Chains A and B, each alone.
Chain A
Amino acid sequence: MKRHHDRPLVAARRRRLGADDSGLASLELVILLPAFIILTLLAGYLGRLNVAHTAVDGAAQDAARAASVQRDLATAQTAAKAAAKAALDASDSPCVFGTADAAIQQPPDPFAVPLGTASNVVVTVTCKVDVSNLAFPGLPIPTGQQTVTSTFVSPIDIHRVRTDS
């Protein structure tokens, strides 16, 4: 008897409070899904950059060592570029093909020191990573290609003849 009395009252109160939830969940999904997509793309962006950084780190180590076994700056420059390209133009590299480059920090010319003196070759390797397929409206990451850089140092063998000195 009491329930009969209550029912219309409950219905009326629900309508007044706006407690009807039908459709709300899907509406929220529509609003929040872009946020989720952006987050996924951001994760992909960070992951890709990390993979690229690791690859460029390794290429810089190769390039620095390749340069430090040479006898003069010009040959060392060529050797560093060749080593960087060999490491980064591989098929599994995250870098855009052909964008790998290496430069020996100078002056001073690291090979222009007397025999028996310690000297280091500092090589900076760069390449471009394509992030254009991660673009999304509202996503605050740079579009297009992004440059990744790494620097490594390799000592020149002190008893090795240098033609620059």
Chain B
Amino acid sequence: MTTRLRHRHGPRDAGAVSILFAVGLTVIMAIMALSVDFGGRLRAAARAQALAEQAARAGAQQINSDAITGTTATIDKAAATVAACTTYLHGTGGSCPADDMPTLPDQTSFTVTVQITYQPTFLELFIPDRIDLTKFTVRGKATATLIPDH
């Protein structure tokens, strides 16, 4: 019965190209949306790194005041953290993550990690509520070191 029916009507090709195009266009558009969003993520990562470098520089300038009298300059950790994480990063979109606060690897170096949460443009349109925004949290890390005056 089935064989006879198919034989009678013949294989119909109408719509085959449109299906190919519909599937193809959807896939291409999805790839384009992904490349825009992940391209933005790359830019956010580069910005986080640049902010970390400047934050480290801002923090490392908070040296103890008796350096003026000739004692070796050392970094004041509390003041450096405020200078880097509050004074400098305020309004830049970057922040110091609570689980990776600035550290002093030694008395003359200051290391800062800066975090940026990047908002994807398209991914949320396609699959809202399914996007793990922590995947779009990027970090940069930099160290500034005091150079002793010889």
Contacts and interface: CB of A to CB of B under 8 A. Distances in A.
B12 A21 contact: yes
B14 A24 contact: yes
Contacts of A54: 42-43, 46
A155 B57 CA distance: 8
B29 A53 contact: no
Interface residues of B, number: 35
A2 B86 CA distance: 90
B35 interface: yes
A28 interface: yes
A86 interface: no
Interface in B16-54: 16-18, 21, 25, 28-29, 32, 35-36, 39-40, 42-43, 46-47, 50-51, 54
B54 A39 contact: no
Interface string B60-104: 011000000000000000000001000110011000000000000
Give the secondary structure class of B's interface: helix
Give the secondary structure class of A's interface: helix
Interface of A: 6, 9-10, 13-14, 17, 19, 21, 24-25, 28-29, 32, 35-36, 39, 42-43, 46-47, 50, 53-54, 57-58, 61, 64-65, 118, 120, 152-155, 157-159
Given A118-B58, A120-B88, A153-B88, 11 more contacts: A17-B9, A19-B9, A25-B16, A32-B18, A35-B25, A43-B28, A50-B36, A50-B40, A57-B46, A153-B91, A155-B54
